[in-house]
Amino acid sequence: MKKLVIYILLIFGAVVMLGPFIWMLLTSFKAPSEVQQWPPSFYTKNFAFSRDVKVILKPGVQRVAKGVSLREAYALKTAEENLLTITVNDDPFYRGTMTIPLKGARYATGVDVERVKELSSKSPVEFSWKTPEEFFEQFFIYYKSGADPYFQRAKLVNEILSSTEGALRTISQMKRFVDIRIKDEEEKEKFLSFLEALSGELSSFQEKVLVMKAGTTLILSDEEIKKLYELLDDLQLEYSGDNPLVPVYRKNVVSPFEEVKRNVSYYLEVSGFFQSVQNLAVEKDIVARSMKKDERKALFLKKIGNFPDRELVERLLEESESPVEDYVSLKEKELSEKHHVDLLTIASVKPVVSSLISLAQENGIKTENFSQMVAEMDVKLAESSTYKVLKSKLSQLDLGEEFLNEVAGYLRNVSILRKAYEDTMSSWKIVDAPDFVKEVRVKGGEVIEILLEGVPSVFLSDEPIKSVKLRFSFREVLANIFQNYVDAWNAAPFPRYYFNTFFVASATTILEVITASLAAYAFSWMVFPGRDFIFGLFLATMMIPGEVLLVPNFITISKLGWIDTYYALIIPWIVSVFAIFLLRQHFLTIPRELFDAAKIDGCSHWRFLWQMVVPLSKPAVITSALLKFVGSWNAFLWVLIVTNSEKYRTLPVGLQAFSSDVGTQYNLLMAAATFSILPVVILFIFTQKYFIQGIARTGLK
């Protein structure tokens, strides 16, 4: 019975000790959406061989909002592509074989321009368009897929309810003024009867509209829009009589509903025409798979075609992880040496030249020759304030015409190269697809772009695609499982953190073993006045909480000018009272006769310590070193206080890269924590026997 109780307690203790580590390990494999699930699951979609990914396909051409980097701001504008953009409303994905269910989708290759002009003339709002496709894009963006669409459920329903409340208040007020303002008794009775009936209609209308507020989507569906039109059409708002209150009635009651009805009616007319012209059907689904490195390389070289520096780019592609950025550095250095211009000047002229080229493109001016381009801009854009500012900046730089032409050419080449490279890195190989599908790209696992040819993307953007299917091979499943580790490693400079942590932990451990061995030897083998009293003072310092020493240590480090240096991370922690105590206790177990024999042979204290005492105390020394190494490896607070740059930060501080004001990425944090503690776990596995011996032989209980 006693053994059973002991076994149960051991099992319970093992679960309590290993539970957090197991939870951390499992979380490190999970997708972002699975981290917050309750109850927690031991399974993750990353283990699956297939997966349905929820997507959103909004009508109109979507523009994925993002911040513009300095590099993108300097880039030249490229022609807009005919892209069908699908937003992933699920956990991101990076590999696999993807099936986009486009079979049976209706589309058109062209539209009657005159009919579109007629529809555009009826629009309650003005749309800027040159082709029918652009009109439909603007139309759907305004009504359904923009940042603030007209048919946004909460906004429109609240607006209608507010108009209804306002109409009911107006009717209530007019009833009080009927006797005063209307003298004709017959008209008075007729108007009051009309207002009474309309109040009932509006109250019923209000209840029916309120139901629409509880929909499952942010945007009203076409069926709900049709129902809304029917409700608005059923309202009997027109009054046939005439009296002094009618103008007030029309302005405050009729007008708000007429405006909404006009927009709803116009949307239904245009969307109905849009549906009617789609007389073709897609014959098959789009099937694409993620590319291998060699396939991406071949596609990239194909995209750049007759690029002027193709051989250089090919070499960089083989040698570098960032071939485009290395190309930029080499070409700027080449420009600098050729024209004797420093890199800072080149950095200053790049945004000016790129802005001038972009302005020329917007105004239909050819940009092949920079000098001719500027001459033409002098004529066409002489009154443009933007051009005047850019031309003034260019004049202030006072650079030669030949240099500016080369910079313009260089910027065009970089723009072409960067676009080709970024598209290639996100491209998937088409396995099967309709003929008009030319490329499939997956940007960051969050956006799917389908490049079309001959079919305007707007005609496919209204399809009810809710999900895409993914299938994975065994190798891809393994890659999915460890994707969090890859993302975590790339999220911060972990190679630098690893080096800093290993260097600081090793240095503090070695130095502490040396100082602790010297002090422990003095307190155990040497006799001097006050030895036991001093040792007692040493032990007393163990009672002082480490947090109390943070401020005085920080002040000392600041006075020495060691903030953000390795000195601050190492020097304050090379002495440990516990290590001295641990080694002293072990040194005392060594027979005194061994020391006497060594003295007879002429052995000094120094030689006896390092050649006899320390080797005989190997378990205790290793225990002390292991405890120090682990403590230094896991140190957080002191490192956070005395370091300001990533150059000196260690792994525990680096883990905060996954926490921000908007939340914590627990799956990446757990992945980073796992590969952070792995070296310590491996170290303990190989040194545990010495650790046990060191504790057992020191007399500690």
CA distance 105 to 108: 10
Predicted confidence band of residue 697 (pLDDT cuts 50, 70, 90): low
Q: Residue 97 has what pLDDT?
A: 95
Residue 54 region, left (φ>0) first, then alpha (ψ -120 to 50), else beta?
beta
**pLDDT value at 473 more than 90:** yes
CA distance 246 to 239: 8
Which has more confidence, 139 or 657? 139
**pLDDT value at 700 more than 70:** no
pLDDT in tens, 309-350: 888 888 988 888 888 899 999 988 988 888 888 888 888 888
CA distance 171 to 174: 5
Q: Which two tokens stand for residue 106?
A: 């209706």
CA distance 265 to 259: 10
User: What is the average per-residue pLDDT within 100-116?
Assistant: 89
Threshold 0.85, pTM exceeds: no
Residue 133: alpha-carbon gap to chain centroid: 32
Question: Could you give all domains of the chain from N- to C-terminal order, each with its CATH number?
Answer: 50-108+437-471 (no CATH), 116-277 (no CATH), 307-428 (no CATH), 490-699 (1.10.3720.10)
Predicted confidence band of residue 71 (pLDDT cuts 50, 70, 90): very low
Which has more confidence, 448 or 381? 448
User: What is the average per-residue pLDDT within 668-697?
Assistant: 76
Report the percentage of the chain scoring pLDDT > 70: 95
Q: Residue 368 has what pLDDT?
A: 80
Q: Which residues contact 517 (CB under 8 A, 6 or more apart)?
A: 583, 609, 613, 614, 621
CA distance 244 to 248: 8
pLDDT in tens, 123-171: 888 888 888 888 998 899 899 888 889 999 989 999 999 999 988 888 8
**pLDDT value at 72 more than 50:** no
Q: Which two tokens stand for residue 52?
A: 């349905």
Q: Residue 698 has what pLDDT?
A: 52
Q: Residue 70 has what pLDDT?
A: 42
CA distance 602 to 595: 11
Q: Which residues contact 328 (CB under 8 A, 6 or more apart)?
A: 414
CA distance 332 to 411: 10
Q: Residue 506 has what pLDDT?
A: 92
Q: Residue 308 has what pLDDT?
A: 86
Angle, CA of 101, 107 and 111, to the nearest 5°: 165
Q: For residue 329, give Cα distances in angstroms to 333, 347, 399.
A: 6, 11, 20
Which has more confidence, 87 or 37? 87
Q: Which residues contact 484 (CB under 8 A, 6 or more apart)?
A: 28, 29, 30, 667, 668, 670, 671
Q: Residue 27 has what pLDDT?
A: 85
Highest mean pLDDT: which range of 29-33, 199-203, 508-512:
508-512
**pLDDT value at 306 more than 90:** no
**pLDDT value at 56 more than 70:** yes
pLDDT in tens, 572-627: 888 888 888 888 888 888 888 887 788 877 788 888 888 888 888 888 888 888 88
**pLDDT value at 513 more than 80:** yes
Which has more confidence, 222 or 397? 222
**pLDDT value at 507 more than 90:** yes
Window from 7-11, 97-101, 350-354, 640-644 with minimum mean pLDDT: 7-11
Predicted confidence band of residue 61 (pLDDT cuts 50, 70, 90): low
Q: Residue 51 has what pLDDT?
A: 93
**pLDDT value at 78 more than 70:** no
Residue 614 belongs to what H/E stretch?
helix 614-616
Cis peptide before 32 (omega within 30 of 0): no
User: What is the average per-residue pLDDT within 295-301?
Assistant: 91
Q: Which two tokens stand for residue 592?
A: 């005194």
Q: Residue 310 has what pLDDT?
A: 87
Angle, CA of 186, 191 and 192, to the nearest 5°: 100
Q: Residue 73 has what pLDDT?
A: 42
Q: Residue 40 has what pLDDT?
A: 74
Q: What are phi and psi of 250, to 5 degrees?
A: -65, -40
CA distance 25 to 616: 39
Predicted confidence band of residue 477 (pLDDT cuts 50, 70, 90): very high
Q: Residue 467 has what pLDDT?
A: 92
CA distance 551 to 558: 10
**pLDDT value at 701 more than 50:** no
Q: Residue 436 has what pLDDT?
A: 92
User: What is the average per-residue pLDDT within 489-507?
Assistant: 90
Strands 437-443 and 427-432: antiparallel
User: What is the average per-residue pLDDT within 631-649?
Assistant: 87
